[in-house]
Amino acid sequence: MIRDFLRGVSYVPRGFALLGEPGLRRFVALPVIINALIFLGLFWLGAEYYGMLLNYLLPDTAALGDGWIGDVLTVFVVLLRWLLWPLFILAAAVVMFYTFTAVANLVGSPFNGMLAARVEARATGRMPPEVSSGGLVVETVGALGDELRKIAHFALLAVPLLVLFFIPVVNILAPPAWAVFGAWMMALEYCDYPLGNHGLAFADQRALLRRRRWLHLGLGGALLAMTLIPVLNLLAMPTGVIAATLLRSELGEYGDAPAAQPPAAR
């Protein structure tokens, strides 16, 4: 049990070490760049509307009048603006910290299957089966649809765990239960890409991961910890894809997976 857990943890630094590997870099960089541009655009838009809100709520200093009362009010309004803008920046940073990984997974989903395929080819010497013959548009739509289904599945399971936080006495079990749940969801999230390249449906993937539950909990727990570290969380998604692909490749090159199925579009 402990050996399996630690082995799962070990795949995360191995995955991180391969982020700059030739042939993988573009699949790592593109989703991160796109995600960063999205957040920069949202930050700019939010700042514009926040500035408009401050202009609406706070009086124009030119209309505060002359004399010492007007001067005092002017200083107060200027100071209030200087205090409220850092509050906006702090709130934006918190939102980014808690949503970056989720948005990155959604934005990066069309690239992650290709990244997993390249990592598997590097690890095993063979590319995985073709997962889609419909071209880039079909691949992208399929990957986004798959990601949305995973998000819905995770949200459905999260509701009962969130309820635990509000039940007296029982709520002491909520934090460790949430941590285990988060680790398991991370393992499911990132193992989906290498297993999906072999045509396994999401239900089959869950059954497969349960066979080596502690191994995958170690992988997911290390990735969950990575998402909680500022700056490193920006690279959690590609690290997770690479680490999960290495893990699945080394478990017998998918020989322990269910019987081969027709490739499914992602």
On whether the CB atoms of residues 219 and 12 are closer than 8 A, the answer is: yes
On whether residue 261 sits in a domain, the answer given is no
User: Of 83-87, 151-155, 207-211, 251-255, where does mean pLDDT reach its minimum?
Assistant: 251-255
Q: Which residue has the higher pLDDT, 36 or 145?
A: 36
How many separate domains does the chain show? 1
> With bands split at pLDDT 50, 70 and 90, how would you rate the model's confidence at 36?
confident
On whether residue 24 sits in a domain, the answer given is yes
On whether the CB atoms of residues 107 and 148 are closer than 8 A, the answer is: no
Q: What is the pTM of this model?
A: 0.72
pLDDT of 93: 76
**Tokens coding 44:** 């700019």
Percent of the chain with pLDDT over 90: 18
Q: What gap in Å lies between CA 262 and CA 239, rounded to an integer?
A: 28
Residues 123-130, mean pLDDT to the nearest whole number: 78
- pLDDT of 139 > 70? The answer is no
On whether residue 257 sits in a domain, the answer given is no
On whether residue 230 sits in a domain, the answer given is yes
By CB neighbour count within 10 A (0-12 exposed, 13-18 middle, 19+ buried), where does 242 fall? buried
On whether residue 8 sits in a domain, the answer given is yes
pLDDT digits (tens, 9 = 90+) for 190-241: 998 898 888 787 778 888 898 999 999 999 999 999 988 877 888 888 999 9
On whether residue 258 sits in a domain, the answer given is no
pLDDT of 33: 83
pLDDT of 101: 67
pLDDT digits (tens, 9 = 90+) for 71-95: 677 777 778 778 888 888 888 777 7
Q: Give the domain extent around 116.
A: 2-250
On whether residue 203 sits in a domain, the answer given is yes
On whether residue 22 sits in a domain, the answer given is yes
**Tokens coding 227:** 């998402």
What Å distances lie between residue 219 and 121, 130, 140, 187, CA to CA? 21, 26, 26, 6
User: Phi then psi for 197, rounded to 5 degrees?
Assistant: -65, -15
Residues 65-74, mean pLDDT to the nearest whole number: 66
- pLDDT of 131 > 80? The answer is no
Q: Which amino acid is at 57?
A: L
- pLDDT of 98 > 70? The answer is no
